[in-house]
Amino acid sequence: MKITICNNPSELGIEAARLTALKLNAAIEKRGEARIVLATGSSQFETLSQLLKEKIDWSKVDIFHLDEYIGLPLNHKASFRKYLYERFINHITCRKFFSIDTEGDIDKLIKMLTKEIISFPVDLGMIGIGENGHIAFNDPPADFGTKESYIVVNLDERCRMQQVGEGWFTKLEEVPEQAVSMTVWQIMQCKTIISAVPHSVKSEAVRNTLINGLTNSVPATMLKHHTDLNLFLDRNSASGFMSF
């Protein structure tokens, strides 16, 4: 695990995007293509914005994302597909974006996504850490045992309140209770993981991730067992375990 502590979210975004571009370009140079998983949420604003400024041949890149609510239309402001289309996908020409379209048959959707993501290794996963320590929508106690690629998950109250706190919903009752999420196991199959985690609201989760051993009550502790984990923090998110 390599930890980089930046002064602020903007600096963090630059550094995380720079490493992401380096890894993707290396994959493209080696075999002519690359595959990436993108995270969403307010913590990823700066990183995704900076990634658009990097020189990457996106026409050779397949893009997956981590999760999507069940029962939330694409045009809702909290939709992660809407987030990615507006903030990233519509600004590039990627080879393929594998969208988690939860309006239809969920079992059929999961089978399709699974077939696609296991067809070839994923070079890089951009994986955030939630306020409750989740990765993707794998809330505690996360399922560390499944070898499925995507599953239907129940969202805990703290996870749902985070969405309210970030302004995606006005009250808890509006937040869906279920989502389709990439599993912890599938996340760990990425060759490289880049985890961009700014802001003081993440300091507790960062501290719990770093001081605890492997535990599904803090799902992000699994990331520490990856062979190429790159954790990017700012001074606020690092404040739970460091003094400045």
Q: CATH code at 73? A: 3.40.50.1360
Other C-beta atoms within 10 Å of 186: how many?
A: 25
Stated as kind and residue range, the H or E segment containing 5 is: strand 2-6
Q: What is the C-alpha separation between 45 and 58, in angstroms, rounded?
A: 19
Residue 244 resides in a domain: no
Residue 34 resides in a domain: yes
Stated as kind and residue range, the H or E segment containing 79 is: none
Q: What is the C-alpha separation between 106 and 123, in angstroms, rounded?
A: 26
Residue 243 resides in a domain: no
Q: What is the model's pTM?
A: 0.95
Q: What is the C-alpha separation between 201 and 221, in angstroms, rounded?
A: 18
Q: What are the b/e assignments for 61-86, b being 16+ CB within 10 Å?
A: bbbbbbbbbbebeeeeebbbbbbbee
Residue 123 resides in a domain: yes
**Which residues, other chains included, contact 26 with Cβ-Cβ below 8 Å and sequence gap of 6+?**
none
Q: What are phi and psi of 173, to 5 degrees?
A: -65, -20
Q: What is the C-alpha separation between 67 and 52, in angstroms, rounded?
A: 21
pLDDT value at residue 244: 57
Residue 239 resides in a domain: no
Q: What is the C-alpha separation between 77 and 42, in angstroms, rounded?
A: 12
pLDDT value at residue 241: 84
Other C-beta atoms within 10 Å of 33: how many?
A: 16
Q: What is the C-alpha separation between 137 and 215, in angstroms, rounded?
A: 16
pLDDT value at residue 242: 80
Of 193, 189, 183, 206, give the one whose Cα is nearest residue 66. 183
User: What dihedral angle (degrees, nearest 10) is formed by the CA atoms of 77, 206, 223, 63?
Assistant: 20
Residue 9 resides in a domain: yes
Residue 64 resides in a domain: yes
Q: What are phi and psi of 212, to 5 degrees?
A: -95, 150
Query: What's the domain range around 215?
Result: 2-234
Up-side HSE of residue 207: CA atoms within 13 Å toward CB?
A: 15
**Which residues, other chains included, contact 104 with Cβ-Cβ below 8 Å and sequence gap of 6+?**
none
Sequential pLDDT tens for the chain (244 residues): 999 999 999 999 999 999 999 999 999 999 999 999 999 999 999 999 999 999 999 999 999 999 999 999 999 999 999 999 999 999 999 999 999 999 999 999 999 999 999 999 999 999 999 999 999 999 999 999 999 999 999 999 999 999 999 999 999 999 999 999 999 999 999 999 999 999 999 999 999 999 999 999 999 999 999 999 999 999 999 998 887 5
Give the total number of structural domains in the chain. 1
Residue 51 resides in a domain: yes
